[in-house]
């Protein structure tokens, strides 16, 4: 089939590459000419595992354009995969979706299915249908289908190739048949429903996962109070298939472009309908507080961070991406800088993006380190914010190179047994604190505390 995809962000581009891989001819449209040029030159403009290879392999079936008229020419299916950024009040900004739909209407001269892939509030697809009917310039039949994606950054290609399900909200048999034909090669369960239910499936799924994370984070906080180990608790829970073992990793909370935005959007939609969705509201509050658990723990060792050298390992919201959207680092690092800390930050991908976010007026200072070793050397404290493989490969001996080896791990990267009985302090989430400072360091810490009081 001829498929045209509007928007070459990670959803649009991954969808395009996978649809080409399963045999469709794909055109990608983006208003950003520079991005289109890079794609034409064989460059992959985003960091996504397996995507450059897939684009290269299927380049004979893919075209990149910035012109709608040319891009819509032969399309049987047109997909809108543009951004829906969060507005200040928590609602989604739909202007890009509506704008793309109008452009399609002005440039299309034959029947087609218009798929909305972007995550949009319930009812948006109906609104797109209305916009389409109002703006079509020719006597043609265009039908709007809600087809949300369930891609995670870093694993988006395999998420689409081996997805758990495909959801499509269609209002006619004609649309249902087209959707079946489009996705048939993927051999995945197909959930066909109406447009509003399809839109809701996306929010209900993402918010459920966010809820699950906030729930395990609260259990972790309680484990700390009661002397239990959250990892064992999660393992014990996860064997029950009604609960499942995924998304039960306790930590410093969820970030990224989806969970924070989608929880707030559902909360906002509920309020607009005079309903309060209390579970989701609680998940949002728990997540906001969870980011600061590390700082509360660090306060057990330092009353103030003024002049303290702090190794911060990981800036991205999760490993495998350079994305900083809603990353806990964006809340934690400014708080440390405000308190006068000297940050030694390390991240294999997100450093450049983070540079632009630093507030130079803060009391403290930030230095970006090219290696984990450089970050740890001479540090008085280490905070782990992202569970990169490189971090997980560190050993107690690596941490002993710190001036004062106090590690506060927001992602539970290490086994407690490996850290026990070492001349380091290791505090994590939902587990007991292990290890102890060597005699000399303990004396140093006590002197420091005495000096402050
Ligand atoms: C998510 C959904 O997984 C995906 O289906 C949807 O389409 C988009 O949103 P993504 O944001 O890329 O994908 O990342 P994901 O891997 O789901 O992680 C989200 C956040 O939750 C990360 O900050 C991660 O660190 C955190 N997380 C995840 C936990 O804290 N604990 C867990 O057990 C799982």
257 Cα nearest atom in ligand 1:
11
- Do the interacting molecules here have an ipTM over 0.85? yes
Residue 275 CA, ligand 1 centroid: distance in Å: 26
Residue 254 CA, ligand 1 centroid: distance in Å: 6
pLDDT band for position 440 (50/70/90)? low
pLDDT, average across residues 425-448: 78
CA neighbor of 318 nearest in space, from 347, 357, 289, 278: 347
pLDDT of 444 above 80: no
State the Cα angle at 81 between 116 and 167, rounded to 5°. Answer: 45
245 labeled part of a ligand binding site = no
Predicted local confidence at residue 449, as pLDDT: 61
Name the residue of 147, 213, 264, 385 to mutate for ligand 1: max ligand atoms within 8 A of Cβ. Answer: 213
Rounded to the nearest 10°, the torsion over CA 405, 406, 411, 413 is: 40
303 labeled part of a ligand binding site = no
Q: Which residues pair with 182 in a beta bridge?
A: none
Q: In this structure, which residue's CA is closest to atom 27 in ligand 1?
A: 254
Note the pLDDT tens digit of each residue in 129-150: 999 999 999 999 999 999 999 9
Strands (E) across 136-226 are located at 142-146, 166-169, 190-193
pLDDT of 453 above 60: no
pLDDT band for position 247 (50/70/90)? very high
pLDDT, average across residues 53-70: 96
Q: In this structure, which residue's CA is closest to atom 24 in ligand 1?
A: 254
Q: Who lines ligand 1 at CB under 6 A? A: 149-153, 206, 209, 213, 247-249, 251, 254-256, 258-259, 317-318
Name the residue of 49, 244, 251 to mutate for ligand 1: max ligand atoms within 8 A of Cβ. Answer: 251
Predicted local confidence at residue 374, as pLDDT: 97
Q: In this structure, which residue's CA is closest to atom 4 in ligand 1?
A: 152
Contacts 24+ apart (CB under 8 A), 192-195: 192/168, 193/167, 193/168, 193/169, 194/169, 194/170, 195/125, 195/126, 195/129, 195/144, 195/145, 195/146, 195/169, 195/170, 195/171
Instruction: For the chain, give the mean pLDDT.
Output: 94
250 labeled part of a ligand binding site = yes
247 labeled part of a ligand binding site = yes
Q: What residues contact 264, with CB distance under 8 A and at least 6 apart?
A: 86, 90, 284
Distance, first Cα to last Cα, the chain: 73
Note the pLDDT tens digit of each residue in 22-48: 999 999 999 999 999 999 999 999 888
328 Cα nearest atom in ligand 1:
23
Instruction: Provide the b/e sequence for 136-146 (b: ≥16 CB within 10 Å).
Output: beeeeebbbbb
pLDDT, average across residues 377-386: 97
pLDDT, average across residues 386-398: 97
pLDDT band for position 363 (50/70/90)? confident
Predicted local confidence at residue 446, as pLDDT: 60
- Which of the residues are catalytic? 258
Neighbour-count burial of 411, counting CB atoms closer than 10 A to its CB (0-12 exposed, 13-18 middle, 19+ buried): buried
pLDDT, average across residues 210-234: 98
pLDDT of 452 above 60: no
pLDDT band for position 19 (50/70/90)? very high
User: 27 — phi, psi (to 5°)?
Assistant: -115, 130
pTM: 0.93
CB 109 within 8 A of CB 138: yes
326 Cα nearest atom in ligand 1:
23
Residue 353 CA, ligand 1 centroid: distance in Å: 20
pLDDT of 442 above 80: no
173 labeled part of a ligand binding site = no
pLDDT, average across residues 150-178: 96
Note the pLDDT tens digit of each residue in 169-197: 999 999 999 999 999 999 999 999 999 99
Residue 207 CA, ligand 1 centroid: distance in Å: 11
35 labeled part of a ligand binding site = yes
Give me the percent of the chain exceeding a pLDDT of 90: 87
Give me the percent of the chain exceeding a pLDDT of 70: 96
Residue with tokens 């997100």: 350
pLDDT of 88 above 90: no
Predicted local confidence at residue 392, as pLDDT: 98
153 Cα nearest atom in ligand 1:
12
């Amino acid at each position: 089939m001829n498929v045209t995809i509007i928007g070459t962000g990670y959803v649009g581009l991954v969808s395009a590459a996978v649809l080409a891989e399963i045999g469709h001819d794909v055109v990608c449209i983006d208003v950003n000419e520079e991005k289109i040029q890079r794609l034409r030159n064989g460059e992959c403009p985003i960091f996504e595992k397996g995507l450059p290879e897939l684009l290269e392999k299927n380049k004979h079936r893919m075209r990149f354009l910035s012109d709608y008229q040319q891009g819509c020419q032969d399309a049987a299916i047109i997909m809108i995969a543009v951004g829906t950024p969060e507005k200040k009040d928590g609602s989604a900004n739909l202007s890009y979706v509506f704008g793309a739909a109008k452009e399609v209407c002005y440039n299309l001269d034959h029947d087609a299915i218009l798929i909305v892939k972007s995550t949009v509030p319930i009812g948006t697809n109906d609104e797109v249908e209305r916009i389409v009917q109002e703006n079509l310039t020719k006597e043609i039949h265009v039908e709007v289908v809600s087809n949300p994606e369930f891609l995670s950054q870093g694993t988006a290609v395999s998420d689409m190739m081996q997805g758990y399900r495909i959801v499509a909200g269609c209002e006619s048999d004609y649309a249902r048949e087209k959707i079946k034909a489009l996705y048939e090669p993927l051999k995945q369960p197909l959930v066909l429903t109406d447009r509003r239910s399809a839109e809701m499936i996306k929010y209900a799924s993402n918010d459920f996962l966010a809820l699950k994370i906030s729930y395990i984070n609260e259990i972790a906080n309680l484990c700390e109070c009661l002397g239990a180990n959250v990892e064992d608790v999660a393992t014990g829970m996860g064997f029950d298939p009604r609960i499942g073992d995924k998304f039960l990793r306790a930590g410093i909370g969820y970030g990224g472009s989806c969970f924070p935005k989608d929880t707030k959007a559902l909360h906002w939609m509920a309020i607009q309908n005079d309903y309060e969705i209390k579970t989701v509201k609680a998940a949002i509050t728990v997540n906001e507080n969870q980011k600061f658990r590390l700082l509360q723990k660090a306060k057990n060792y330092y009353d103030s961070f003024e002049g303290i050298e702090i190794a911060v390992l990981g800036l991205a919201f999760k490993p495998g991406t350079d994305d900083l959207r809603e990353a806990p680092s964006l809340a934690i690092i400014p708080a440390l800088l405000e308190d006068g800390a000297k940050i030694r930050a390390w991240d294999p991908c997100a450093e450049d993006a983070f540079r632009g976010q630093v507030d130079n007026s803060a009391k403290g200072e930030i230095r970006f380190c090219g290696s984990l070793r450089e970050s740890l050397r001479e540090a008085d404290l280490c905070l782990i914010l992202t569970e990169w493989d490189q971090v997980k490969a560190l050993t107690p001996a690596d941490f002993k190179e710190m001036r004062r080896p106090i590690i506060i791990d927001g992602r539970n990267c290490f086994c407690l047994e490996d850290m026990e009985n070492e001349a380091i302090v290791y505090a994590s989430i939902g587990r007991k604190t292990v290890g102890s400072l060597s005699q000399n360091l303990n004396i140093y810490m006590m002197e420091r505390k005495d000096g402050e009081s």
